[in-house]
Structures are given as C-alpha cells and as structure tokens.
Chains A and B, each alone.
Chain A
Amino acid sequence: DGGITQSPKYLFRKEGQNVTLSCEQNLNHDAMYWYRQDPGQGLRLIYYSQIVNDFQKGDIAEGYSVSREKKESFPLTVTSAQKNPTAFYLCASSIDLGGQYSPMNTEAFFGQGTRLTVV
C-alpha cells in the first residue's frame, strides 16, 4: 500500500544533541512537508520541498534543517539550536505544490507522526 512512513514513533533526546526524524513516501509525490504540532497550537509548517535538492523555510524553521536527496525521502534534523524541541512532528506529502489550474494537487497525505521528547 502507498503511504508515508515516519520513524521512529517515539524519540528521546538529551539537551544539546541533534536528532534526525525519518520520513519516507512511496506515493511518487513531488512535494513533501514537515509540521510541528503542539497542544492548542494546530500545525505549524517547518520546511517544505517541491522537488529533489530544493526546499524552502516555513513559518518556524529556526533550529531545524532538512535535506531532499531522493524523491522518496525528506529527513528532518532537530538541532541543539532549537530551544523547545519537545513536540509531535508530522510529515506530509502532496502531488506537487499545486497551481492556479491544479489546486487539487495540494491535498496533503500525512504520516503517523514522531513524538520527540527532550530529557
């Protein structure tokens, strides 16, 4: 079955350490996204990528980094510069970023999330 796989489901990190969250999709989608979810805050966009080797900052990119070396993969690194990294992280993908005549391509498909806790 096609879908998005995030791993691990739970992740613990010591303060000062970098940690990388995995996101893989087999939907053949061009666009991929990372969101952060905090209670009562909804989803906030960290980074997104519309094509291999290209990515853009979202609303809360500080303290995070990404790479897009393969179409299927979009890993997120939470660096030690992120002041409050404890959160639920969601990866998503869509056919592409859409356009004036193809808005339906923006429909986002989500992974099951990774809960990161700093200890």
Chain B
Amino acid sequence: AQSVTQPDIHITVSEGASLELRCNYSYGATPYLFWYVQSPGQGLQLLLKYFSGDTLVQGIKGFEAEFKRSQSSFNLRKPSVHWSDAAEYFCAVVRINSGGSNYKLTFGKGTLLTVNP
C-alpha cells in the first residue's frame, strides 16, 4: 500500500535558523510529490511540487525540496526561517496507474512548525 510518512509531529526552531522537514514515501514507481502548508483554520497552500527532471525543486516563500529516489524521500528545506513560517506542513504523493485513470493522492499526517523569536 502506498503511504507517506512524516516522522516529526512537531518541530521548534528559532527565527533565522535553518529548517528541514522530513518526508518518506513507499511506492514502487516514480511518485509525484507535493508539499503543502496550512495556517490554523485555513485551507492548504501549495509550496512546491516534483513531477520529473531536476531533483531539487524551488517553491514559494524561499522553500526548496530534494527528491532522493534511493532514500524514498522528499525533504523540505529553508535556509532561514521567519516567524511567519509557523504553520503545519503536509507532504503528499499521487499515484497514477499505468492506465492513467486511477487516482490516489495520499497525505502525510503533517509536521507542526513552531518558530521561537
């Protein structure tokens, strides 16, 4: 079964520090990967996505993520965190079967980021 694991439920960093949020997936073929961010009581906003090509992808708000097939990972990074980055972050993977008609978008359980001043 396809799954997405975000090992860290809650991370606290100081403002200005670097950030890395982990995401691992289990799926045999090349997955299509997303990172979303959610502020409290709000919907989800797409940060970045990976479909193919360069394994290091740039997103909005200064975020980037690297796809590592050998490690089945798609970790999210930011060099310097701002207080406004405090939110919950979700990794997601979509699988499309060989027939092109079966859809399955699976989310991890999220990582809550707290930023200390």
Contact B44 A103 (CB under 8 A): no
Q: Which of B12-20, B60-68, B69-77, B95-103 contacts its partner? A: B95-103
Interface flags, A90-119, vs B, CB<8A=1, else 0? 101000011111011011111111010000
Q: How far is the CB of B98 from chain A (nearest CB, A)?
A: 7
Contact B105 A108 (CB under 8 A): yes
Contact B43 A111 (CB under 8 A): yes
Number of chain A residues close to chain B: CB under 8 A: 32
Interface flags, A24-68, vs B, CB<8A=1, else 0? 000000010101000011111100101000000000000000000
CA A40 to CA B110, docked complex, whole Å: 7
| A107: contacting residue among B49, B90, B96, B108, CB under 8 A | B49
Given A110-B44, A111-B43, A112-B42 in contact, is the A100-B110 Cβ separation under 8 Å? no
* Nearest-neighbor residue (CB-CB) of B32 within chain A: A103
Q: How far is the CB of A107 from chain B (nearest CB, A)?
A: 6
Contact A103 B51 (CB under 8 A): yes
Q: How far is the CB of A16 from chain B (nearest CB, A)?
A: 27
| A110: contacting residue among B45, B52, B110, CB under 8 A | B45
Residues in chain B near residue A4, CB distance under 8 A: 43
Residues in chain B near residue A110, CB distance under 8 A: 36, 43-45
| B109: contacting residue among A41, A88, A107, A108, CB under 8 A | A41
CA A31 to CA B102, docked complex, whole Å: 13
Q: How far is the CB of B95 from chain A (nearest CB, A)?
A: 10
CA A45 to CA B108, docked complex, whole Å: 12
| B107: contacting residue among A43, A48, A97, A113, CB under 8 A | A43
Q: How far is the CB of A42 from chain B (nearest CB, A)?
A: 4
Contact B110 A50 (CB under 8 A): no
A-B interface, 7 closest residue pairs, ranked by CB to CB distance from nearest: A99-B100, A110-B43, A42-B109, A97-B103, A43-B107, A110-B44, A42-B107
25 of the cross-chain contacts (CB-CB < 8 Å) are A4-B43, A33-B105, A40-B110, A42-B90, A42-B107, A42-B108, A42-B109, A42-B110, A43-B44, A43-B90, A43-B107, A90-B44, A92-B44, A98-B32, A98-B96, A98-B103, A99-B101, A106-B105, A108-B34, A108-B46, A108-B105, A111-B43, A112-B42, A112-B43, A115-B41
